[in-house]
């Protein structure tokens, strides 16, 4: 008799609990994980990330000029300066062995990295980025435009200061290579935003442009390595100063309790971010 009553009470308790478990709150919005400090990109269309806006372009550009001198730039700067300095001992040998070997390659590379191509390409990418809802592409093309301005400014200043004669004797604007710095600045931005899958091909194209300038007898090897260093530093510095997307962040899974509108049902909310 006691066992039967006990069984009946268990069945009643289970029956009362079932509706509470079965009820779901269709209006429940799972809480988002706290990403403060990681500056992830938003996906709200033309608002972008709220940082790379047209109104903030001058301010961001100014910060980009200064960011090149951060402590994060010290190591790649020292590596680049050392490489350019050491390679200067091989400038003549490289020029003799490589210049004029493939004139078609030299012409293509010189055209691809020149102002007539890089300026329209940068402007086109920037306008395409302004018109898209893809927040990553929008941010990358914004940074490409700023990196192009910063790179060109520093390269031009160094050319005037160094006053080095080109291998073909045409003028004294040999050091550093502007074609190379522009190409590496763009490659570095895409590497910063998209990683090696885009960065490696972009760097390969930039290196080809640099070599083409040696082949066309417009630059020494050390000019090209110095230009590559400037472009790398500028591209990564500008991207970082504007705020990079949180690539490679660990996925987060959160569970939080919830109740229905009547406060009777008990459930749980789940959210997953990556």
Question: Max alpha carbon distance in the chain (Å)?
Answer: 112
Answer whether the bond into residue 176 is a cis peptide, omega within 30°: yes
What is the pLDDT at residue 107?
A: 87
Alpha carbon of 13 to those of 1, 222, 265: distances in Å? 19, 83, 15
Domain boundaries, the chain: 45-242
What is the pLDDT at residue 257?
A: 54
Q: What is the pTM of this model?
A: 0.73
Alpha carbon of 74 to those of 77, 150, 266: distances in Å? 5, 18, 56
Full pLDDT tens readout for the chain, 274 residues: 434 443 433 343 444 443 333 334 444 444 443 433 333 333 334 456 789 999 999 999 999 999 999 999 999 999 999 999 999 999 999 988 887 777 788 788 889 999 999 999 999 999 999 999 999 999 999 999 999 999 999 999 999 999 999 999 999 999 999 999 999 999 999 999 999 999 999 999 999 999 999 999 999 999 999 999 999 999 999 999 999 764 444 344 445 555 555 555 555 554 434 3
The Cα–Cα gap between 232 and 218 comes to 21
First to last CA, the chain: 57
* Residue 154 contacts residue 234 (beta carbons within 8 Å): yes
Question: Which of helix, strand or coil describes residue 64?
Answer: helix
Could you tell me which residues come within 8 angstroms of residue 218 by beta carbon, excluding any fewer than 6 positions away?
Answer: 110, 166, 167, 168, 170, 174, 177
* Residue 110 contacts residue 230 (beta carbons within 8 Å): no
What is the pLDDT at residue 44?
A: 36
């Amino acid at each position: 008799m006691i066992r039967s009553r006990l069984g009946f009470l268990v069945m009643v308790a289970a029956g009362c609990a079932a509706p509470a478990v079965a009820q779901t709150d269709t209006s429940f919005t799972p809480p988002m994980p706290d990403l403060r400090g990681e500056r992830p990109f938003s996906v709200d269309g033309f608002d972008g990330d709220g940082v790379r806006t047209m109104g903030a372009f001058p301010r961001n550009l100014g910060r980009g000029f200064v960011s090149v001198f951060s402590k994060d730039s010290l190591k790649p700067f020292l590596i680049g300066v050392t490489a350019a300095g050491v390679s200067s001992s091989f400038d003549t040998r490289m020029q003799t062995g490589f210049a004029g070997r493939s004139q078609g390659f030299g012409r293509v590379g010189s055209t691809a990295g020149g102002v007539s191509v890089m300026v329209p390409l940068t402007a086109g990418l920037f306008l395409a980025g302004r018109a898209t809802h893809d927040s990553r592409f929008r941010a990358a093309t914004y940074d490409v435009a700023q990196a192009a301005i910063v790179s060109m400014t520093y390269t031009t200043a160094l050319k005037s200061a160094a006053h080095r004669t080109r291998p073909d004797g045409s003028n004294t604007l040999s050091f550093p290579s502007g074609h190379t710095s522009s190409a590496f600045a763009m490659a570095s931005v895409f590497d910063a935003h998209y990683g090696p899958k885009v960065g490696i091909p972009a760097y390969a194209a930039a290196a080809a442009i640099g070599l083409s300038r040696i082949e066309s007898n417009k630059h020494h090897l050390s000019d090209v390595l110095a230009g590559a260093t400037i472009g790398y530093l500028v591209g990564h510095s500008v991207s970082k100063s504007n705020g990079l997307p949180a690539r490679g962040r660990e996925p987060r899974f959160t569970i939080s309790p919830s109740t229905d509108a009547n406060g009777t049902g008990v459930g749980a909310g789940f959210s997953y971010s990556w």
